[in-house]
Amino acid sequence: MEGPMFRRLTPIRVLTFALAALTLLALCTPVEAGPPRARLSRDLADHLSSGGTAPVRVIVRGSRETVAALAARHGATPKRWLGTAGVLEVTPEQLQALADDPEVISLSGDVPVHPTMAVTNQAIGTELLQMVGAAEKGLTGRGVGIAVVDSGIAPVPSIRERVVASVDFTGGAGEDAFGHGTHVAGIIAAAADDTLPVVTERYQGVAPGAHLVNLRVLDGEGAGRVSDVIRAVEWAVANRRRYGIRVINLSLGHPVFESAADDPLCEAVERAVAAGMVVVAAAGNLGKTADGTPVIGGIESPGNSPYAITVGALNTKQTGVRSDDVVATYSSRGPTAYDFTLKPDLVAPGNRIVSLEAPGSMLAVNYGGQHVAGSGDRSYFQLSGTSMSTAVVSGAVALLLEANPRLEPLKVKGALQLGASFLPEAGLIGAGAGSLNVAASVQVATQGPNALEPVLIAGEEVTPDGVMFWRADSDADASRIIWGDRIIWGDRIIWG
């Protein structure tokens, strides 16, 4: 197994979560029903062991011919075909038979996915651009395509000219009946709205020059299936040259039920990165329980993929300065379940973010109290969550790719991490390399890591800390990685 290394580790306060991590290890031990030959994701194993009778959808890896033959052999019903797998509907008896079939290596559930937001006033506009260090670089993301895999994008004036293609994997026409996708798209690339009153801040996205591809996978209630997300990612890869898609935004996820190596969505992310695309994924909003108890290891899929840029949420406390920023309490912490990959990779503003409102959508109708400005198709409302911070980073990636179009996905990730400002209170499992600093990351992207210098953000001098994780060669000694200034972890921690 590849070992972990990092370029420079600044002094860190002790991370006192050893007992929590050990508890996580116990919780992540797969539950098996009977002696199946195939590896089962935890949701499927739980379904068998519980004695449930309802049919379930499973993702079976293999060619269409192979999966069709397995379906015929065991009486399963094919539901859809993916690039490297098929989705079958099976009874518990058929699931057990598939698990016992020597031709089946692993089975994963076609589980529900959800947006990683919370209905909760930090504006996307001049102030936020200043916060992330993007206001004075003269970059807009021009020429960079971003696939927004979400609930659709409403054709509102501030964003419709940025959308160059739409594909609806739910059977509709790409409209946003839920409202989440439009909000995310606005954070990424909305144009400034000159119709708002002078006293109201004009809202714009991080990369208003980027163009968007609308890939709808969530319905009007914000629900979807992981197989539709996989189909959307595969479509983006297949059409990346036609539409100039360089980035895939995944502000959604599901709980981790298996290792990233067996997770079909993580596999799709890996293939996208191998094709030269940057995949930005939400860490999830599982940072605490309902009673406020902190949770360790709550990163969701596909944020658990070592190939994704996984983003946690920063609470800026509605100020322009960096010195009072903290990681939002709901933002999921690492390490990842099963694999113990160090995540998130970094954090970005995600609390009370104001962006586009989709008129008539479920969120607009049922959460009118979140409306903050405008009316009709020029309305704005606020949401919180790692969905929002993920969109901020996708916009930032577009700026980096405009500054240096030759950047490969792992170099984009490295530039973001090296330019980030470390947050010692949150530590590596809470904030990764630290808070997004676009100005410093552009320095890295265009001049190399030795060009890092302090930058001014909202009048404060902000120093990039130059922390980066990567998968290293086998000569790295995992036992020498020090967490905090006391705890030394063994080789259970993998750096994504």
Nearest to 312 by CA among 223, 221, 481, 427: 427
At residue 449, does pLDDT exceed 90?
no
Angle between helices 226-238 and 264-274 (to 10 degrees): 10
Angle between helices 438-447 and 386-403 (to 10 degrees): 30
Question: Residue 51 carries which side chain, given as an amino acid letter?
Answer: G
How much is the pLDDT for 121? 41
At residue 272, does pLDDT exceed 90?
yes
Domain definitions of the chain by residue range: 4-18+114-491, 32-109
Query: Would you give the distance in Å from CA 136 to the centre of its chain?
Result: 27
Q: How many CB atoms lie within 10 A of CB 461?
A: 10
Share of the chain above pLDDT 90, in %: 60
At residue 1, does pLDDT exceed 70?
no
CB contact at 8 A, 125 and 204: yes
Residues with a catalytic annotation lie at 150, 180, 387
Query: Would you give the distance in Å from CA 455 to the centre of its chain?
Result: 27
At residue 266, does pLDDT exceed 60?
yes
* Residue partners of 223: CB distance under 8 A and separation at least 6: 112, 113, 114
User: Any idea which of 2-6, 106-110, 445-449 has the lowest mean pLDDT?
Assistant: 2-6
At residue 469, does pLDDT exceed 80?
no
Q: What average pLDDT does this structure show over 80-85?
A: 95
Of the CATH numbers 3.40.50.200, 3.30.300.90, 3.10.20.70, 1.10.260.40, which one belongs to the domain with range 4-18+114-491? 3.40.50.200
CA 478 – CA 495 distance, rounded (Å): 10
Count of residues making up the chain: 496
Q: Is 293 helix (H, G, I), strand (E, B) or coil?
A: coil
| Helices marked H in 149-292 | 180-189, 226-238, 240-243, 264-274
One DSSP character per residue, 12-47 reads: ------HHHHHHHHHHTSPP--S--SSEE-HHHHHH
How much is the pLDDT for 352? 86
CB contact at 8 A, 147 and 234: no
At residue 49, does pLDDT exceed 50?
yes
Q: How many CB atoms lie within 10 A of CB 213?
A: 28
Q: Is 373 helix (H, G, I), strand (E, B) or coil?
A: strand
Q: How many CB atoms lie within 10 A of CB 293?
A: 7
Backbone torsions φ then ψ of 346, nearest 5 degrees: -165, 175
- Please give the structure tokens belonging to residue 416: 């973001």
Query: Would you give the distance in Å from CA 279 to the centre of its chain?
Result: 8
Nearest to 237 by CA among 283, 207, 278, 209: 278
> Taking all residues of the chain, what is their mean pLDDT, rounded to a whole number?
82
CA 286 – CA 294 distance, rounded (Å): 9
CB contact at 8 A, 345 and 420: no
Using alpha carbons, list the distances in angstroms from residue 129 to 119, 180, 283, 382. 22, 21, 22, 17
State pLDDT tens for residues 360-408: 999 999 988 888 888 899 999 999 999 999 999 999 999 999 999 999 9
User: Any idea which of 164-173, 360-369, 481-490 has the lowest mean pLDDT?
Assistant: 481-490
State pLDDT tens for residues 408-437: 999 999 999 998 888 888 888 999 999 998
118: pLDDT confidence band, cut at 50, 70 and 90? low
Of the CATH numbers 2.70.70.10, 3.60.20.10, 3.30.70.2980, 3.90.1170.40, which one belongs to the domain with range 32-109? 3.30.70.2980
At residue 485, does pLDDT exceed 90?
no
How much is the pLDDT for 52? 86
How much is the pLDDT for 116? 82
Q: Which residues sit opposite 495 in a β-bridge?
A: 342
How much is the pLDDT for 422? 87
Backbone torsions φ then ψ of 256, nearest 5 degrees: -80, 125
Backbone torsions φ then ψ of 248, nearest 5 degrees: -120, 125
CB contact at 8 A, 205 and 186: yes
How much is the pLDDT for 336? 95
* The model's pTM: 0.84
State which H helix or E strand residue 364 sits in.
helix 362-366
At residue 32, does pLDDT exceed 60?
no
* Residue partners of 65: CB distance under 8 A and separation at least 6: none
How many CA atoms lie less than 13 Å away from 302 in the CB half-sphere?
A: 30
**Counting Cβ atoms within 10 Å, is residue 91 exposed (0-12), middle (13-18) or buried (19+)?**
middle
336 vs 319, residue with greater confidence: 336
How much is the pLDDT for 474? 29
State which H helix or E strand residue 396 sits in.
helix 386-403
